[in-house]
Amino acid sequence: MADFDDRNKTLHVIATIRTEFVEKFGVPRQSGLVEGLRGEIIFEPEYRNAEALKGIEEYSHLWLLWGFSHNQREGFVPTVHPPRLGGKIKKGVFATRAPFRPNAIGLSCVRLEDVIWESAQGAKLIVGGADLVSGTPIYDIKPYLPYTDAHPEASGGFGQAHSDCEIEVDFPQGLLERLPEEKRETAVGLLRQDPRAAYQKQQGAIYGMHFAGYDIRFAEKEGRLCVCDVVDAACGAEKVKQGAARNRSSAQ
């Protein structure tokens, strides 16, 4: 194998993305599944040169090359248990899009919504359909080219077989109205994707999806995801702190 200069082996973080997700649970399994999601790509100071984005507005979609910053695993594991297969069937890591890889690199296709040429953080990109946790490092951005990147005749393996796995959602209007109006449709779309892993699904168990600053709590009932509460995450966290403080005080 040819030798490479060590400098070419280093991945440089060129930007980070801001999204409505502070944790992995609830993030769509693939990009583009929930079109209403928005992300803001902010470049690192050394890459805040508007010239680097010249002509990017000519494209409708972009490829993002990014790092699985929320997944850490030591050593090479050749097989994984895809959640879509119930966590019981093994597949080769290179035959899946599992986050635990020899190099923790992810690839997403996003829609370019807008280019903001001047801001406090320099030029930045607004993208749609991103499947990334807020703060995810981005290593590179490339334009999506329909004439070569799209292959309608391609076979999709087990991933394609499980591509249509939406679940019916019961989101009571009173609870839905606790969310900002512009976030409601996206929240329902996220729940339709069923954020639970196949091996974590328990009838009646209450789950919490953190989205856009709110904790959306739901349970499965008769084959549907039923939302049972929507809590402002900041208020919820403050109540937890107050409860912990009271517990410490009573224990003294």
Sign of CA dihedral 240, 243, 244, 245: positive
| pLDDT tens by residue, the chain, 252 residues | 444 455 567 889 999 999 999 998 999 888 888 988 999 999 999 999 999 999 999 999 999 999 987 766 677 888 887 777 766 788 898 988 888 888 889 999 999 999 999 889 999 999 999 999 999 999 999 999 999 999 889 888 776 655 567 899 999 999 999 999 999 999 999 999 999 877 777 788 999 999 999 999 999 998 899 999 999 988 654 443 444 343 333 333
123: Cα within 13 Å, side-chain hemisphere: 15
Query: How far are the Cα atoms of 110, 135, 201, 223, 245 from residue 86, in angstroms, in the given order?
Result: 28, 29, 10, 17, 40
Residue 239: predicted pLDDT: 47
10 Å Cβ neighbour count for 133? 20
Q: How many angstroms from the chain centroid is the CA of residue 236?
A: 23
Residue 162: predicted pLDDT: 55
Residue 141: predicted pLDDT: 98
Residue 240: predicted pLDDT: 39
10 Å Cβ neighbour count for 193? 19
- How far is residue 31's CA from residue 134's CA, in Å, rounded to a whole number? 14
Residue 242: predicted pLDDT: 43
CA Rg, the chain, in Å?
Answer: 21
